[in-house]
């Protein structure tokens, strides 16, 4: 069965695995984009990101390292316009 391509971030299901630490293998991935180009993505709560990173880095066969690919420092409340495809990180 071919997986449908989701075109809106709002249609990606939020996942919150019950394990204390979890990895990519514990998630169901969704094709996000359009017919010409898509990525497989999974949406998790922001407060579970550390648990995901620890789970990924603990994989003995294939440990993973992470870095922020794109980020901006903004004061909370200063964002005037939100775009679905934009990655924003609030740092205090």
Report how many domains make up the chain: 1
Range with lowest mean pLDDT among 22-31, 32-41, 63-72: 63-72
Full domain range(s) for residue 9? 1-92
Phi first, then psi, for residue 72 (nearest 5°) are: -135, 145
Confidence class for position 60, pLDDT limits 50, 70, 90: confident
Give me the mean pLDDT over the 3-22 stretch: 90
Give the burial string for 34-52 (b: 16+ CB within 10 Å, else e): eeeeeeeebebeeeeeebb
Residue 38: alpha-carbon gap to chain centroid: 14
pTM score, whole prediction: 0.63
Confidence class for position 62, pLDDT limits 50, 70, 90: confident
Confidence class for position 17, pLDDT limits 50, 70, 90: very high
Give me the mean pLDDT over the 21-40 stretch: 91
Enter the DSSP assignment of 4. Answer: P
């Amino acid at each position: 069965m071919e997986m449908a391509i989701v075109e809106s971030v709002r249609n990606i299901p939020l996942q919150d695995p019950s394990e204390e630490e979890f990895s990519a293998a514990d998630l169901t991935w969704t094709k996000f984009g359009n017919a010409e180009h898509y990525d497989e993505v999974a949406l998790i709560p922001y407060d579970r990101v550390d648990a995901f990173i620890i789970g990924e880095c603990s994989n003995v066969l294939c440990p993973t390292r992470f870095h922020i690919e794109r980020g901006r420092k903004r004061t909370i409340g200063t964002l005037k316009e939100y775009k679905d495809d934009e990655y924003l990180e609030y740092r205090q």
